[in-house]
Amino acid sequence: MTTTALIIADNLLIGKVLQESLHLTGNFKTDIIYDKDGWNEELCQELKENKESNIILAGFDDENLSSWIWQTIRSEKDIQNPIVVLGYEREAVFCSKHTVFRDGTAKYHRYLAAPWEVNNLERIMQEIKPLQGDNDEHREGIFIRFGDTNLYTRIFRRLHVVKCCGGEKEIFLAVETETLSKQLQDEDLQYLTKELVEALRSENLDSAIDLKEQIEENIKKIMEPKNGKENSLYR
C-alpha cells in the first residue's frame, strides 16, 4: 500500500534527503514545498481531497513551525490531514511547548525527534489518522483550543464559542480557560474564570454571560493592537 505525503521543509537539503529516503522504501508517494516558497494552492486542494495524506514538517524552529501549523494548515478550512513534525528537541520538551502533540490529539499530530529514522517515520505515518468527522468542526475545535501560543488569545478563542447555554462542553471549555489563566498567573483572570466555571456548573446562565463578557473585555484591553498591527483574537 502506497502512503502519500506532502513534505514541507525548512531548506532544500533536508527536503531532498527526506524525500529520497522515503522513495527508497517504495511505499511512499511524496510532493515537496519549501519554507521560502510558501503555500501551494494546488497541493492544498489535493490535501482537502485526500484527507489520509500525511503532512510532514521538517527542520523548523518554533516560530516558523507554529506559523505553518496554525496560520497556514489548521487555519485552512477542510484541511483535516494528519501532521508529523520532524524536529531536533527531545519529545518531552517539544510536546510541553506544543501541547496539541500530546494527550488526546496525538493521534492526529505526532512528533519524531532526530535522528529521523525512516522506519520510525513510516510506522508513525501508518498509525496517525486524519481529524474525525466529515465536516470541519473538529479542525475548528482544535484550532480554537491550541491555535496560538499567546495564552490570552487561547482563552479568548475558547470563550468566543461559549454561548452560556449550559452543558458539559461549555463547562469543559470554561475549565480550560481557568487552567490557562493559572499559567498566566493573572489573579484577576483566575478569579473571573473560576467564577465562570461555577456559574455554568450551577446553571446560573445570566451570571455566566456577565462574567464571559467581562473576561472578553479585559482580554481585549490587554491585547489591543500596538503600532497599528492587527491582533489575532478572531483568527
Residue 195 has pLDDT above 80, yes or no: yes
Least confident of 84-88, 149-153, 163-167: 149-153
The reply to whether 229 falls in a domain is no
pLDDT band at 142 (very low <50, low <70, confident <90, very high): confident
pLDDT band at 218 (very low <50, low <70, confident <90, very high): very high
Highest mean pLDDT among 10-14, 18-22, 83-87, 96-100: 83-87
Q: Are residues 207 and 104 in the same domain?
A: no
Q: What is the mean pLDDT of the chain?
A: 86
Give the three-state DSSP class for 218.
helix
Q: Are residues 122 and 15 in the same domain?
A: yes
CB 184 within 8 A of CB 151: yes
pLDDT for the residue 53 = 93
Which tens digit of pLDDT belongs to each residue from 65-118?
A: 988 998 889 888 889 999 999 999 999 999 888 889 987 788 999 999 999 998
CB 58 within 8 A of CB 86: yes
Q: Are residues 129 and 153 in the same domain?
A: no
Please calculate the CA angle 215-219-224 and round it to the nearest 5 degrees. Answer: 150
Q: Are residues 18 and 128 in the same domain?
A: yes
Q: Are residues 13 and 116 in the same domain?
A: yes
Structure-block grid coordinates of residue 100: 496539541
- Domain with 178, as residue range(s), is 148-222
pLDDT for the residue 221 = 87
Comparing 149 with 87, the larger pLDDT belongs to 87
The reply to whether 159 falls in a domain is yes
Comparing 172 with 210, the larger pLDDT belongs to 210
Q: What is the count of structural domains for the chain?
A: 2
Integer angstrom CA distances of residue 48 from 51, 107, 110, 181, 202: 6, 19, 20, 35, 42
Phi, psi of 35 (to 5 degrees): -50, -45
Q: Are residues 26 and 108 in the same domain?
A: yes
Query: Which amino acid makes up residue 234?
Result: Y
Place of cell 498591527: 229
Global pTM exceeds 0.75: no
Task: Report the CATH number that the domain containing residue 32 is assigned in CATH.
Answer: 3.40.50.2300
Task: Kindly list the strands in the beta sheet with 83-87, ordered across the sheet, starting from the edge strand earlier in the chain.
Answer: 28-34, 3-9, 54-58, 83-87, 109-113
Neighbouring C-alpha atoms within 13 Å toward the C-beta of 84: 26
Which tens digit of pLDDT belongs to each residue from 23-48?
A: 888 788 899 999 888 887 888 889 99
Q: Are residues 64 and 161 in the same domain?
A: no
Q: Residues of the chain with pLDDT > 90: what percent?
A: 43
Of 67, 99, 133, the domain-final residue: 133
